[in-house]
Amino acid sequence: MAFDLTRSRFFGPLIKNPLWQGTIRWFSLAALVALLVVAWGRTTLPGIADSWPLIYTNATTLIFWVLWFMGLVISVPFFGRLWCSICPLGFVTEKLGKIGLNVKWPAPPFNWLGAISIFLVGLGGALYWNVHKNPAATAIFVGLALLLAVFSGLVWRRASFCGLFCPIGLVLSIYSRFSPIYVAAKDAGKCASCDDKACTARKSRWKRWDLGPSLVIQKQMWEGGCPAALTPRSMDRSACQLCMECVRNCSRSNMAVYYGGKNSNHPFSTPALVLFVFLMGLVTLALSRTWPALRDALIPGIHPPAWVSALWLGAAVPALFIFAAPLLTHFGEKFSGKESSGPSDGSAPPRLEEGEKPLTLWERAKIAATPFAGVVFGGHTALALVKLNAKAPYAQYLVYDPFGAASYMAINVSKTLPLPQMIVPLAVLKWVAIFALALGSLAGLHETKTAWKNSLGPLGKLLGYLSFALLAVFYAALIRHWLFG
């Protein structure tokens, strides 16, 4: 059962009044700039042999890679993409989009190659250049992202950085399909008969600046409309950034924020499926580091170079898991002549009727891949819980020394500060991590009922369930070896 938060005495006024959201967005932008300053030029400490002394004592590396990055994953089951409603980069691009050139977004694949490339650069940066351990490198990475948000806001319309370049938004859209919070129309019939479409309507107005007797500047400004260019009444809810604009602007008060039930049954979008392959790779690589012997046994060849291992576990194995069952069904149906049609409501495609187009392999994969997101989400949550539990306690020293050098010396050299202890004992946390993986896997298993109903044939389903079970058992074995071993 879903609860309409706009009717709540507490949440209703918060959702309808944009002031709180605007205030938090300004605050998060100020915090982002402060984090860049705190990390700028800081990498090593003179006379200290440790290669990455500031990894957990510098505010930027700790907040960006541990508290925010890991906290975001853990927050999704409860708050979905709510982060996007207060994200500083989304704020910058959206604000500048109101006064920028207002150019239309490029056509596919140019509207998503940027996000995938940034994800891969971030992944490569972490694997090979240890960006996540180095405050100065982190500041450059985040600073470049901020510059790109400024640039895209000035060039393209709406929240263009989010739509064109942000891999975090894509990851959140993949995971948030399992979250209980979403925006939807209360009555779809009202939307169908609505003539002003105020929820999505974008208004323009001319602004004039008189800068002297002979200098007058006039500029067209854009306001309102969905920053993600969605049609709220029929959108894929996992693409919604929960900005609440449509809820506030609907002239009939027909848009609401719901809590409870399932967020989205839509297939993956093309960028989400491409990114999902690498996301599964990231989680698999991170978990398999905890059991090097098993990892090495899974990689073909003896002592292969690091890039072969990364490509194998980070891309080839995930692609096998994701595409094996759709491939089997697709070619099985092609040879037997029994083809199924494209999805009617985005959840499960019916059998092919006369005149309908059969599903392409790519469309089939976009539907059939969604259940695997549950297992990957569970594995990612387990990783995030362990990291946060062990490293978040370093935050207690940030108030006194956000740069991290003094607290590193006090903890590791003079030993005048104690080494921060875990928040929850490992004996408890290991069960929480396994529980997170089990919950994610169950959510994925539940998704197979709709996603595989018509997108996979009997043999495809068999292979799908085998792959699904293999992935879940593989992650469980790694977590068991890591935390229970």
Using CB under 6 A as the criterion, which residues of the chain lie in contact with ligand SF4 when the complex forms?
84, 87, 89-90, 159, 161-162, 166, 168-169, 183, 226-228, 230, 232, 235, 240-246
Q: Which two tokens stand for residue 468?
A: 């699904």
Question: Cα–chain-centroid distance for residue 143?
Answer: 19
How many CA atoms, within 13 angstroms, populate the side-chain half-sphere of residue 434? 16
CB-nearer residue toward ligand SF4: 161 or 312: 161
The H or E element spanning position 151 is: helix 135-155
How far apart CA 94 and CA 87 sit, in angstroms, is 11
CA distances from 28 to 178, 199, 244 (A): 26, 26, 18
Residue indicated by tokens 């490509």: 311
Q: Rounded to the nearest 10 degrees, how much is the dihedral formed by the CA atoms of 293, 298, 302, 307?
A: -100
Rg for the chain (alpha carbons), in Å?
A: 24
Q: Which two tokens stand for residue 181?
A: 């919070």
CB-nearer residue toward ligand SF4: 150 or 361: 150
Q: DSSP secondary-structure letter at 482?
A: I
CB-nearer residue toward ligand SF4: 380 or 461: 380
Q: Are 149 and 94 in contact (CB under 8 A)?
A: no
CB-nearer residue toward ligand SF4: 92 or 390: 92
Q: Which two tokens stand for residue 137?
A: 């490198």
Q: Are strands 203-210 and 181-185 parallel, antiparallel or unpaired?
A: unpaired
How far apart CA 371 and CA 394 sit, in angstroms, is 36
Got the DSSP string for 429-478? HHHHHHHHHHHHHHHHHHHHHHHSTTTS-HHHHHHHHHHHHHHHHHHHHH
CB-nearer residue toward ligand SF4: 160 or 454: 160
CB-nearer residue toward ligand SF4: 237 or 364: 237
How far apart CA 209 and CA 392 sit, in angstroms, is 49
Q: How far is the CB of 236 from ligand SF4 (least distance, A)?
A: 10
How far apart CA 418 and CA 420 sit, in angstroms, is 6
CB-nearer residue toward ligand SF4: 45 or 194: 194
Q: Which two tokens stand for residue 454?
A: 């018509």
CB-nearer residue toward ligand SF4: 66 or 162: 162
CB-nearer residue toward ligand SF4: 21 or 134: 21
CB-nearer residue toward ligand SF4: 13 or 425: 13
Whole-angstrom distance between the N-terminal and C-terminal Cα of the chain?
A: 41
3-state SS of 254-317 is CEEEEECCCCCCCCCCHHHHHHHHHHHHHHHHHHHCCCHHHHHHHCCCCCCCHHHHHHHHHHHH
